[in-house]
Amino acid sequence: MSKGKLFVISGASGVGKSTVLKQVMAVRRDLVFSVSATTRQARPGEENGVHYHFISREIFLDMIRKGEFLEYDEHNDTLYGTLYSAVSDAMKKGNVVLDVDPNGAMNVRRVYPDATLIFILPPSWDELERRLRSRGDTSEEQIQKRLARAKWEIEQSPKYDYRVINDQVEACAEEILNMIAVKAD
């Protein structure tokens, strides 16, 4: 049985990862998106098992103790992680896409050294801040935390195989599709 390729997509909160990934996945129907687990509450319109596996902090911590996560991290008082089982099962079916932060990406790289790491950058710092503020569902304190985190995440981007700027969603998605085609086809 042929083993699929693993693609890791990262980028700061507000950079447009979800929007870009939606376009990428619509074109490359052979890609399997690995749904992460989180301890945060679902936002309006999010479904358990589709956008995230929403679980309690206690269960998440128990899963960490049992070694069930390929990677996990905590930021803004919320835990996020990728289950080993979800990735290995999905890779038996085809090519897999993970949406994880830089810490997670480096952990994935240790386990899957052939994984392709792609970092999505904002067109500018001002645009990133504008996007975060335009959501309308985030307190000023949370915006400042996300901006501080974004600075650190962007500083990690040189560790990735590829970096792409999300100035226009369609162009960014096309660049990522080309990167995937080179590695997966």
Burial class (CB in 10 A: 0-12, 13-18, 19+), 182: exposed
- Domains, the chain, in order of start with CATH, read 6-184 (3.40.50.300)
Token pair of 102, please?
A: 């830089």
pLDDT tens for the 185 residues of the chain, in order: 457 999 999 999 899 998 999 999 999 988 999 999 999 999 889 999 888 999 999 999 999 999 999 999 888 789 999 999 989 988 988 899 999 999 999 999 999 999 999 999 999 999 999 999 887 777 899 899 989 999 999 999 999 999 999 999 999 999 999 999 998 86
For the CA atoms of 149, 167, 106, 25, the dihedral, rounded to the nearest 10 degrees, stands at 120
This prediction's pTM? 0.89
CB 180 within 8 A of CB 162: no
Neighbour count for residue 104 (Cβ, 10 Å)? 22
